[in-house]
């Protein structure tokens, strides 16, 4: 063994700090468990090393002299004494016997005192949280500057069982929306530990406080535009999804598309309403069950993501037909091809055979790698022809699904 492999005091401190940072010793103290002495083995010189590198071995052994490390107990053993070799006493293990020794050695006395102070104070103001604190002391220390505000916010949730409110309406001293949003992670853990199970929606993530703990969420809106003569004074409306419970008057066809400019530029079409998906068509449309009784079309980019969205829409409404998402359209607009930087990897489940084959060709790079035809690159004249049914640019879905 060479001298560079001999354990130094710095190595031991680093090992002890890793153990400390796990939080196990503060947790044990908070839970009332006695401190278990810590043992760290030392790699030191062998008898051969002592004979070959006596001065270095002596220097190493002296670096572990007890008077240099008053907060460690040094365990030694005797080596040598064979074949007329001298005996030598070397350290083989160090022990830290008390929590006081550990925090003094690591200079973490202030951390330990702060945790114990917060734990004791919380035992009075919010005793239900002390078990969580004991299990997560390092999280408590990280949140120490804000701890009282976190406790007060948790108390507000526990005491507020009236009608749901928005996050902005939480009324806690020195707590605002920005504070809550910045600390959603730890608030979620504290609330999970504090609230009754029937007040927690476990299907929602902890960092979505509104959904998980019964607050009002920002409503989703559906933006729609009449392509026929509008039934009222407005040609375009944005309506809360939950309030759009029936089809717009005079509408027998709905076209869903993703690009805003294309949505605005669609030509007049009798009995038709355009609905802007903005990349979230599937999640929006599933809240509109009346679409099951409407002639429903989806138009997205010809790329793997476009077909993935089409598939998700069709999973809710199997009668959905695609518009301008076929091989004829792709090949007719070769001059407008672009690149889809990141493709999906799984083939969508709800495509017609023709759509599925085209989607596979896109993933395989049959025409060119990462091929994409964005809907806004298709001339508006081609769109008008497709809407009028003058060209074979649509794919009937319902009967042809795999």
Q: How many CB atoms lie within 10 A of CB 32?
A: 7
pTM comes to 0.67
Report the 3 state secondary structure along 113-137. HHHHHHHHHHHHHCHHHHHHHHHCH
pLDDT in tens, the chain (402 residues): 556 688 888 899 999 999 999 999 999 999 999 999 999 999 888 777 777 878 888 888 888 876 677 888 988 888 765 655 667 778 889 999 999 999 999 999 999 999 999 999 999 999 999 999 999 999 999 999 999 999 999 999 999 876 689 989 999 999 999 999 999 999 999 999 999 999 999 999 888 888 899 898 888 889 999 998 877 788 899 999 889 999 988 899 999 998 899 999 999 999 999 999 877 777 788 889 999 999 999 999 999 999 999 999 999 999 999 999 999 999 999 999 999 999 998 889 999 999 999 999 999 999 999 999 999 999 999 998 888 874 444 444 444 444
Identify the pLDDT of residue 388.
Answer: 84
Identify the pLDDT of residue 80.
Answer: 63
Pairing of strands 87-96, 236-240: unpaired
If you compute the radius of gyration of the chain from its CA atoms, what whole number of angstroms results? 34
Identify the pLDDT of residue 392.
Answer: 42
Token readout for 319 is 């009668």
Identify the pLDDT of residue 66.
Answer: 63
**CA dist., res. 73 & res. 91, Å (int):** 10
Q: How many CB atoms lie within 10 A of CB 170?
A: 18
Residue 31 backbone phi and psi in degrees, to 5:
-90, 0
Please state, in angstroms and as integers, the Cα–Cα distance from residue 175 to each residue in 112, 145, 160, 180, 344, following that order: 27, 13, 16, 7, 42
**Beta-sheet strand order (sheet of 38-41):** 38-41, 87-96, 73-80
The runs of H, that is alpha helices, within 136-287 are: 137-142, 147-159, 177-182, 184-194, 209-213, 260-265, 281-285
HSE-CB at 99 with a 13 A cutoff on CA atoms is 18
Identify the pLDDT of residue 78.
Answer: 80
Which residue has 């039934």 as its token pair? 231
The set of long-range contacts for 105-114, using a CB threshold of 8 Å and a minimum separation of 24, is 105/13, 105/16, 105/71, 105/72, 106/13, 106/16, 106/17, 106/20, 108/20, 111/141, 112/26, 112/29, 114/141, 114/144
Report the 3 state secondary structure along 70-116. CCCEEEEEEEECCCCCCEEEEEEEEEECCHHHHHHHHCCHHHHHHHH
Pairing of strands 38-41, 87-96: antiparallel
Identify the pLDDT of residue 5.
Answer: 82
Which domains, ranges and CATH numbers included, belong to the chain? 3-106 (no CATH), 122-213 (no CATH), 221-395 (3.40.1360)
Q: How many CB atoms lie within 10 A of CB 79?
A: 21
Residue 76 backbone phi and psi in degrees, to 5:
-125, 170
Find out whether 9 and 64 touch, Cβ atoms under 8 Å.
yes
Find out whether 147 and 187 touch, Cβ atoms under 8 Å.
no
Identify the pLDDT of residue 401.
Answer: 45
């Amino acid at each position: 063994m060479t001298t560079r492999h001999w354990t130094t005091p710095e190595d031991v401190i680093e090992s002890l700090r890793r153990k400390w940072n796990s939080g196990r010793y503060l947790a044990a103290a908070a839970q009332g468990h006695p401190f278990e002495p810590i043992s760290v083995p030392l790699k030191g010189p062998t008898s051969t090393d002592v004979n070959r590198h006596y001065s270095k071995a002596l220097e190493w052994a002296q670096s572990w002299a007890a008077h240099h490390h008053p907060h460690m107990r040094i365990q030694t053993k005797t080596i040598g004494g064979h074949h007329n070799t001298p005996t030598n006493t070397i350290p083989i293990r160090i022990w830290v016997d008390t929590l006081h020794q550990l925090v003094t050695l690591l200079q973490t006395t202030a951390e330990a005192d702060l945790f114990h102070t917060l734990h004791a104070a919380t035992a009075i103001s919010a005793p239900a949280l002390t078990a969580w604190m004991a299990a997560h002391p390092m999280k408590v220390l990280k949140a120490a500057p804000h701890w009282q505000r976190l406790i007060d916010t948790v108390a507000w949730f526990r005491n507020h069982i009236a009608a749901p409110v928005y996050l902005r309406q939480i009324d806690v001293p020195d707590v605002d929306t920005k504070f809550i949003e910045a600390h959603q992670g730890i608030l979620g853990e504290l609330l999970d530990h504090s609230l009754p199970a029937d007040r927690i929606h476990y299907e929602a993530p902890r960092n979505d406080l509104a959904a998980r703990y019964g607050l009002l969420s920002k409503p989703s809106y559906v933006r729609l535009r009449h392509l026929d003569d509008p039934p009222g004074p407005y040609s375009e409306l944005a309506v809360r999804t939950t309030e759009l419970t029936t089809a717009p008057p005079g509408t027998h066809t709905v076209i869903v598309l993703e690009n805003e400019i294309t949505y605005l530029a669609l030509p007049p079409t009798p009995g038709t309403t355009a609905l802007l998906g903005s990349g979230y068509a599937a999640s929006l449309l599933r809240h509109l069950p009346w679409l099951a009784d409407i002639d429903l079309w989806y138009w997205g980019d010809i790329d793997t993501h476009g077909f993935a969205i089409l598939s998700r829409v069709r999973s809710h409404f199997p009668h959905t037909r695609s518009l301008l998402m076929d091989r004829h359209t792709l090949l007719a607009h070769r001059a407008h091809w672009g690149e889809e930087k990141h493709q999906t990897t799984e083939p969508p489940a709800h495509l017609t055979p023709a759509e599925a084959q085209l989607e596979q060709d896109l993933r395989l790079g049959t025409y060119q790698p990462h091929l994409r035809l964005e809907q806004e690159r298709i001339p508006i004249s081609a769109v008008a022809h497709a809407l009028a049914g003058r060209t074979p640019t649509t794919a009937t879905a319902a009967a042809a699904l795999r």
